[in-house]
Structure 1
Amino acid sequence: MNAFKLTLLVAVLAAGSAFAQPQPDDTLYRQLGGQSGLVKLTDDFMQRLLADPRMNPFFKDTDQKEFKAQLAAQFCEVSGGPCQRKGKDMKTVHDGQDITKSNFNALVEVLQQSMAAQGIPFTAQNRLLAKLAPMHREIINKH
């Protein structure tokens, strides 16, 4: 192959790689058990939210099927999975619910219990919580 063809080939390959989409990191998604693991997690989480006297008032009248579907999609999306949550933003969803920092922390505690019960490694639990934590600004609406 002459130098011109080699240079042209290198240029074409370089241009093609410049437009390639980076592959998402789905490591956390896989550590959470993929879609089936997220379904199990959200099922367990919903049961625990309803059983917890601190959380029950917020969730007793919730459409459980829709809540679990939205939550599983949200967990999937933030963990690098192939999902995208659709629906209202977090601020709109939680508006008027008088959610305090204490309420938010109680929910996180229940989520940690659910993750532990599902055998999710502690490091994966921490990674998911770190991705969800910034949402507190949109959820807490009573100080």
Structure 2
Amino acid sequence: MAMIVIAALLLQAAVPAGEEPVAPYVQQDANAGATPVAGDALWRAFHGRAGVDRIVEGLVARNVADPRISDIFKGQDLVRLRRTLKEQFCYILGGGCTYTGRDMKAAHKDMGLQQADLGALVENLQAAMRAEGVPFAAQNRLLAKLAPMKREVVVR
């Protein structure tokens, strides 16, 4: 019993005041929402880890500044968001990363995301990929991998 109390206190101490910890979940690559592509051509087209890092940084910055969807990101853990997006993109693009985030349905639960929100996010992702110089065909391959996730994140 004492171990449970200690664990609870440590968990509370690790979470900033006023914020709830992320509910426990099974960490597995399947949570990324898509299987990785075969080979390394797509990974190279995205300029490897450094390119993915720049794309994610640009995407998050665009989303936070975008008046259409900026409210969605208020109060979110942007450090965690950046980390899990980098892992997700790296995993899907065949970069050999492990994805440690929640599954798409759980990660977006109760956010009330609409089709227009997703459209704005995709536009921002495309702009971030263009800024990185990712070829159009490579952009489309990633978007095709991400598109089925719409069923899990958009409210019907």
Q: Render the CA deviation track for 1:71-119: whole Å, top value 9, x for unaligned.
A: 0110011111101211211101111111111111111011111111111
Q: Secondary structure at the match of 2:96?
A: coil
Q: Where does residue 138 of structure 1 map in the other structure?
A: 152
TM-score, normalization by structure 2? 0.73
TM-score, normalization by structure 1? 0.79
Where in structure 1 do 4 or more consecutive aligned residues deviate above 4 Å? none
Greater fraction of residues in helix: 1
Q: Render the CA deviation track for 1:11-63: whole Å, top value 9, x for unaligned.
A: xxxxxxxxxxxxx4121111111111111111111110011011211112221
Choose 1 or 2 for highest CA Rg. Answer: 1
Q: Which runs of 5+ in 1 are unaligned?
A: 1-23
Amino acid in the other structure paired with 1:55 = I
Cα distance in 2 for partners of 1:94, 1:65 equals: 16
Q: Where does residue 62 of structure 1 map in the other structure?
A: 76
Amino acid in the other structure paired with 1:61 = G
Cα distance in 2 for partners of 1:55, 1:84 equals: 28
Q: Where does residue 18 of structure 2 map in the other structure?
A: none
Cα distance in 2 for partners of 1:116, 1:46 equals: 15
When the two chains are superposed, the root-mean-square deviation of aligned CA atoms in Å is 1.0
Cα distance in 2 for partners of 1:100, 1:28 equals: 29
Q: Which runs of 5+ in 2 are unaligned?
A: 1-37
Cα distance in 1 for partners of 2:98, 2:153 equals: 19
Work out the number of aligned pairs and report it.
119
Q: Where does residue 103 of structure 2 map in the other structure?
A: 89
